[in-house]
Amino acid sequence: MNQILTPTGAAGPSTPALLKVLAGQSLAKPPIWFMRQAGRYLPEYRALRATAPDFISFCLDPEKAAEATLQPMRRFAFSAAIVFADILLIPGALGQDVRFEVGEGPKLGTLPPLETMRDQIEASTGRLSAVGETLSRVRAALEPERALIGFAGAPWTVATYMIEGGSSDRTGARTYAYTHPEALDGLIDILVEATAFYLIMQAKAGAQVLKLFESWAENLPEDLFERLVIGPHMRIIEKVRAAGIDAPFIGFPKGAGTLVANYVAKVPVQAVAMDVQASAAFGRQLQQTTAIQGALDPLLLRAGGAALDRRVEEMLVQWGGGPYIFNLGHGILPDTPISHVEQVLARVVGS
Amino acid sequence: MNQILTPTGAAGPSTPALLKVLAGQSLAKPPIWFMRQAGRYLPEYRALRATAPDFISFCLDPEKAAEATLQPMRRFAFSAAIVFADILLIPGALGQDVRFEVGEGPKLGTLPPLETMRDQIEASTGRLSAVGETLSRVRAALEPERALIGFAGAPWTVATYMIEGGSSDRTGARTYAYTHPEALDGLIDILVEATAFYLIMQAKAGAQVLKLFESWAENLPEDLFERLVIGPHMRIIEKVRAAGIDAPFIGFPKGAGTLVANYVAKVPVQAVAMDVQASAAFGRQLQQTTAIQGALDPLLLRAGGAALDRRVEEMLVQWGGGPYIFNLGHGILPDTPISHVEQVLARVVGS
């Protein structure tokens, strides 16, 4: 079952709304933030990004990453900031070559031997200390009533990139799960450890909430989902708790369908982020034991208009009675008009 | 709620096991068939395919299509044959150019105006009479205890190809649903009518079971799923029933996740086909009101080995107590070893 934690600072007068909801409260106006709210739809982001030689350097430059994190917070009444970083920083820190080519997805080099990576687990977090510095800078600049979220890619999702060498339809990685079960489990174990260290470091540096992005939870049969998603998420959270970190967790098993029920029954997250498919009834069922987040369609946000207003209203009505965090079901698209973001905020937060 | 029909011929001594399950019975040995069981993993299929100038001609040649349908029935103890055809025959019959280039997906020409296609609805079924002839030939050749399945692509799935001009990630079609709701609904209406006529023709020609392939039910928010999937499926089945056809329906809202619960609550199908994600518990929940079909991972079938045996056993145990049709969660892959298919059949059907 899910433990509802009362995180440090969740009781003061300036307690962020996000932390209240993650402690199990239902708020008349739900907190709101958007996945990829720091990103290419903002002209100030594009200008900032142009000052860095490549995407990884940009993520690991605390001054620039903190500025990227804060840009949407200046423009919009978002309830939370999420540290600007990438889920593929960990493979890089473990010794696999990771590059982002302009206009293409990430390209990863040959997967290093497991033993080599295993020796790098502790050092990998040190190599990502810039993310900690970004968090400290953002926390210092952000109003106390706005929460700061740290995150990591979940092991299976990160493993799919490491195995396939980039973005893929994951059939190679899923086949690998069947044909090389021990090698995959070994890789997942390394990622569990490295991710736990990384999240502990983020919490110590100022992250008040920790999110696990399992972006590729789709198309996994139940046995693989238990082995590759549920188990690793449980072990990460256990390790983070063992380090004395009580920051609430948001789990995002994207595309997991009915297996999300398995997930919330076993993984002690304080909220589950839902993808665009989330039905009203299923979300309410989840709210019996956990807070929920989501799940506006980014394509509808981009399209805008009266249909957007209607859908936002529907979501507020169907889920607003329980612990609910307003968000998209997937990241905001680069060509989303800023006025549409303002339109949603006006409806959710009011003016 | 779902009507459990007793189809014509479901009571005789040679009643196909598939029809028994679709009438609500639980069998000690479930019927088994595989999506794309007539296909490239069979050397005799590849030889036959090489005799046709292109894929569409191949589908519309009753002699060759009947032979392709029957090839796996000769080799394996499958409980049912599914007519060899393609979900993109309907756009072609409605006047949109459809080509299959070797080694590539389908390429569709410009979407004709709705009025033009609306005038072609009745004629479109006549243009697909070859599929009826294929069915008649197969039914004449097939043992009475083996069922014959007819099928069509469901309107939304077919519309995504028609709008995007081929295979896609469907973001264009989903955006179109928001930005051009009336045009999309008009297209869906045309496809509902043409699909109903087409399925009625198939049933009259010998199809004892009708399957609706909604291959792209994934990533649809609940409101779009209700509008683009549930509504159209209901209207198609209503039209087929109004024509006096009592053949049972299998619905396959692939990737619909928790929205499958909405689907079975509203669409009067006799079975729901499940994708690889189907959880044991969710399948059993569905079995309270309908038969279920699925959901072996095609990647595991291709990988083979002891893991394949274990998973097949697991599925038989978790779902065999209710009305259950053994199948894959998606089509069989072209490079699947034939011995793996035999391995599964030995376990499901016995020797």
The alpha carbon of A213 is separated from its chain's Cα centroid by a whole number of angstroms, namely: 4
Which pair of structure tokens corresponds to residue A56? 């990884």
To the nearest 10 degrees (0 to 180), the angle between helices B155-164 and B231-242 is 120
Q: How far is CA A24 from CA A79, A274, A296, in A?
A: 16, 17, 21
Bond into B295 cis (ω within 30): yes
Q: Angle, to 10 degrees, between the axis of helix B181-205 and the axis of helix B129-141? A: 40
Number of residues assigned to chain B: 351
Two tokens, residue B151: 């099928």
**A157 contacts A213 by C-beta, under 8 angstroms:** yes
B258:A278 CB<8 A: yes
CA end-to-end span of chain A: 38
- List A residues 177-206 in contact with B (Cβ-Cβ < 8 A): 178-179, 181
pLDDT of B11: 54
Choose the closest CB to A259 out of B256, B259, B277.
Answer: B277
Task: Kindly give the confidence (pLDDT) of every residue in chain B, 351 residues in length, as a single tens digit, with 9 standing for 90 and above.
Answer: 344 434 444 456 789 999 999 999 999 999 999 999 999 999 999 999 999 999 999 999 999 999 999 999 999 999 999 999 999 999 999 999 999 987 788 999 999 999 999 999 999 999 999 999 999 999 999 999 999 999 999 999 999 999 999 988 899 999 999 999 999 999 999 999 999 999 999 999 999 999 999 999 999 999 999 999 999 999 999 999 999 999 999 999 999 999 999 999 999 999 999 999 999 999 999 999 999 999 999 999 999 999 999 999 999 999 999 999 999 999 999 999 999 999 999 999 985
Please provide the size of chain A in residues: 351
Measured CA to CA, the distance from residue B247 to residue B6 in angstroms comes to 9
CA neighbor of B78 nearest in space, from B118, B33, B44: B33
Question: Cα-atom radius of gyration of chain B, to the nearest Å?
Answer: 19
The yes-or-no answer on residue B161 being catalytic is yes
| B36 assigned to active site | yes
The span from the CA of A294 to the CA of A300, in Å, is: 13
Q: What is the pLDDT of residue B104?
A: 81
Mean pLDDT, each 10-residue run in order, chain A (351 residues):
42 86 97 97 98 96 98 98 98 96 89 97 97 98 97 98 92 96 98 98 98 97 98 98 98 97 98 97 97 98 97 97 98 98 96 52
User: With left for phi above 0 and alpha for psi between -120 and 50, is residue A103 left, alpha or beta?
Assistant: left
Pairing between strand A80-82 and A98-100?
Answer: unpaired
What would the CATH number be for the domain defined by B17-87+125-159+170-349? Answer: 3.20.20.210
Q: Rounded to whole angstroms, how far apart are CA atoms B34 and B144?
A: 19
- Rounded CA-CA distance A113/A91 in Å is 12
- Selected for mutation to probe chain B from A163, A179, A299 (highest B CB count within 10 Å) is A299
Q: Which CATH code is given to the segment(s) A17-349?
A: 3.20.20.210
In contact, B304 and B13? CB cutoff 8 Å:
no
Of A37, A17, A30, nearest to A298 by C-alpha is A37
Which among B221, B262, B277 has the least Cβ separation from residue A297? B221
Rounded-to-integer distance, Cα A312 and Cα A303, Å: 13
* Cα–Cα distance for residue pair A96/A113, rounded to 1 Å: 10
Helix (H, G, I), strand (E, B) or coil at B315: helix
Buried b (16+ CB within 10 A) or exposed e, A95-110: bbebebeeeeebebee
The predicted structure's pLDDT at residue B12: 63
ipTM of the complex: 0.93
Which pLDDT belongs to residue A11?
55
Q: What is the three-class DSSP state of A58?
A: helix
Residue B215 identity (one-letter amino acid): S
Contact of B243 with chain A, judged by CB distance below 8 Å, is answered with no
Contact A213, A160 (CB under 8 A): no
Q: Which amino acid is at B108?
A: L
Would you call B350 exposed, middle or buried from its count of C-beta atoms within 10 A (0-12, 13-18, 19+)? exposed
Residue A35 exposed, middle or buried by CB count within 10 Å (0-12, 13-18, 19+): buried
Q: What whole-number distance in Å separates Cα of residue A50 and Cα of residue A52? A: 6
Residue A164 at interface with chain B, using a CB cutoff of 8 Å? no
What is the layout of strands, in order, in the sheet containing A324-328?
A: A80-82, A147-153, A209-214, A249-253, A271-273, A291-296, A324-328
Identify each DSSP E strand in chain B by its residue range. Answer: 80-82, 98-100, 106-108, 147-153, 209-214, 249-253, 271-273, 291-296, 324-328
Q: Which residue type, as a one-letter code, is found at position A298? A: P
Q: Cite the DSSP H helix spans in B206-337.
A: 222-225, 231-242, 259-266, 280-286, 298-303, 306-319
B244 within 8 A of B268, measured Cβ to Cβ: no
A299 touches B at CB < 8 Å? yes
Decide if B40 is catalytic: yes
Q: How far apart are the first and last CA of chain B?
A: 38
Of residues B222, B224, B311, nearest to A223 (C-beta): B311
CB contact under 8 Å between A280 and B221, yes or no, is: no
Question: What local confidence, expressed as pLDDT, does residue A2 receive?
Answer: 41
Q: Are A158 and A232 in contact (CB under 8 A)?
A: no
Distance from CA of A253 to the nearest CA of B (A): 12
Cα–Cα distance measured from residue B193 to residue B189, given in angstroms and rounded to the nearest whole number: 6
Residue spans of alpha helices (H) in chain A = 17-22, 43-49, 55-59, 62-75, 89-93, 114-118, 121-127, 129-141, 155-164, 171-179, 181-205, 222-225, 231-242, 259-266, 280-286, 298-303, 306-319, 338-349
Residue A264 neighbours by CB under 8 Å, 6+ apart: A2, A251, A272, A286, A289, A290
What is the rounded distance in angstroms from the CA atom of residue B176 to the CA atom of residue B185? Answer: 10
Within 10 Å of residue B186's Cβ, how many Cβ atoms?
15
In chain B, where the domains are located: 17-87+125-159+170-349
Both tokens of A28, joined, read: 């008349």
- Exactly one of A41, A45, A161, A263 is catalytic; name it: A161
Residue B112's alpha-carbon distances to B26, B87, B182, B196, in angstroms, are 46, 18, 16, 20
DSSP output for A22-44? HTT---SS--B--TT-SSTTSHH
How is residue B193 written in tokens?
A: 């009518």
Out of B41, B45, B161, B176, pick the active-site residue.
B161
Interface test with B, best of A168, A171, A219 (most B CBs within 10 A): A219
